[in-house]
Amino acid sequence: MAGDLATAHAGEARLRATLAAAASAPVAPAWETIRARVLDEGAEGLAPTRSASRPRRTPALVAAAAAVLVLALIGALVVATRPESEGRFTQVGGAAAAPPGWFVPQDLPAGWTITSVSAVRPDETRCPGPGEEPARGIRWLRPDSSPNAAITVTIGRCVPPDLVSGPGGEVIRFPDRAAPVDVDLGSVTGSFAESLVGSDHLISWQIDGVPWTLEGSGLQIEELVAAARAIATAGSVDVAPTGFTFDETWTEPPRPRTQVEVELTTADGNQLAYVLVPGGAGAYRPRADVGTSTPPEHAPDLVLRAATYATAPWSLRYGIVAPGVDVDLWARLAPGDPAAIRRAGIGEISDDARLLVNLLAPASTAEWRELLAQVDHTPVLDEADEFSALAELDVPPPG
């Protein structure tokens, strides 16, 4: 045993000596170059400082570098000139090689467990109908009332309630729309749904196969139905509902074909989930941006976002924008407590969500599979080396 230890120590010492020697070359000062680049002080500042004896760049390499620089500047201009609603949560960093798109929490706190990993097709399980094309939306506000009084219409995509109360008082997440409450909208029949979230209600209908969804916050149900009837009869959103004024309009990206939901339970029994969706597809329409946050030190190229969302203001509080994938966090309350959900409202990002987002880190395919090996998961996940590959696989509907 003593001999083994001595051998190990001798080998370690030799390794340390090698690394120290290999790293020992003199380092040329570079502060002025770095400072100039940080302050953007002129083109000459963009060239890194190097020690002497660097081989000269060939003209072809110089041209290639110039082309890259031009493309980078164009990219920066594109980002800088985007509308704010699109540009807040853009990716930073410049990794040329795309990571596989998986995220795994590092070192969960005691008592936290990952309960399942599911691959789902949200377009076929939550909300049948078109979803491959961009949808558009419009919102009106009632100026003489509380800021929460709003009507939002989405055209080209149905918007299901995220949570409803079941017959036994239990919380049903993402209910299917098999048992709607019909509501007469004049020219068409709509479906009415009451969300557990605050005073939000939804009315959905179709015109020539195109889904329309009207969401109301802070309104009486009668007002909501009247607004839906006027819009459905007109077949347009050109005229604001009575008493409301135009707020904004937008286009939503196509619905993702697949997403991956990783569900966790905290030591207190609260449910959390983080959801992987294709890059850009995680942008449910923000109701109120809460702001961005400093990325976690283990992943400085990530951009965190914090926002509340029109369809689920209490639930989607935090997310990550990463190359090729968005990570949305769902901070859910304990099941079976609709009253608690009603009270939650739009508010603070939960401590659990804050903690989880700082534990999440990009993972290699091997690390992701290590996670899958430990929990119940959708079998098709075993076939995907990277997140984007799921789009080409046969992801079954859950249940």
Partner 1 sequence: MRGSADPRAVREQLYRDQYAASVRLARLLVGDHHRAEELAQEAFVRVAERVADTDSPSAYLRTALVNLCRDHGRRRRTVQRNPEPPPLTSPPPPLPADLDVVWQAVQQLPERRRVAIVLRFWADLSTEDIATVLGARPATVRSLIHRGLASLEEVLDDGR
Give, as ranges, the residues between 93 and 112 that touch partner 1 (CB under 8 A): 93-97, 104, 106-107
Q: Which stretch binds partner 1 (CB under 8 A): 123-131, 141-149, 175-183, 355-363?
A: 355-363
| Residue at token pair 């009632």 | 142
Tokens of 151: 């009507």
Q: Does 21 bind partner 1 (CB under 8 A)?
A: yes
CA atoms within 13 A on the CB side of 260: 30
* Shortest CB 106 distance to partner 1, Å: 6
Q: Does 249 bind partner 1 (CB under 8 A)?
A: no
Q: What are phi and psi of 214, to 5 degrees?
A: -110, 125
| Of 307, 263, 315, nearest in space to 283 by CA | 307
The count of residues interacting with partner 1 (CB under 8 A) is 58
Rounded to whole angstroms, how far apart are CA atoms 164 and 174? 8
Q: Does 24 bind partner 1 (CB under 8 A)?
A: yes
3 state DSSP class of 174? coil
Q: Does 20 bind partner 1 (CB under 8 A)?
A: yes
> Judged by CB, which is closer to partner 1: 61, or 73?
61
The two counts, helices (H) then strands (E), for the chain are 9, 19
Distance of CA 232 to the CA centre of its chain: 31
Give, as ranges, the residues between 278 and 337 that touch partner 1 (CB under 8 A): 294-295, 297-301
Q: List the one residue from 38, 43, 178, 373 that touches partner 1 (CB under 8 A).
A: 38
Q: Which stretch binds partner 1 (CB under 8 A): 56-64, 173-181, 184-192, 274-282?
A: 56-64
Tokens of 304: 């965190």
Q: List the one residue from 276, 303, 363, 372 that touches partner 1 (CB under 8 A).
A: 363
Q: Which stretch binds partner 1 (CB under 8 A): 90-98, 180-188, 241-249, 338-346?
A: 90-98
Tokens of 226: 């009247």
Measured between its terminal Cα atoms, the distance across the chain in Å is: 56
| Residue at token pair 């935090």 | 318
SS3 per-residue string spanning 215-245: EEECCCHHHHHHHHHHHHHHCCCCCCCCCCE
User: Do 135 and 395 meet the contact criterion of CB atoms below 8 Å apart?
Assistant: no
Q: Does 33 bind partner 1 (CB under 8 A)?
A: yes
Q: Does 50 bind partner 1 (CB under 8 A)?
A: yes
> Judged by CB, which is closer to partner 1: 72, or 340?
72
Q: Does 124 bind partner 1 (CB under 8 A)?
A: no
Q: Does 49 bind partner 1 (CB under 8 A)?
A: yes
Q: List residues near partner 1 by CB under 8 A.
A: 7, 10-12, 14-25, 27-28, 30-31, 33-35, 37-38, 48-51, 53-55, 57-58, 60-61, 64, 93-97, 104, 106-107, 294-295, 297-301, 361-364, 367, 370
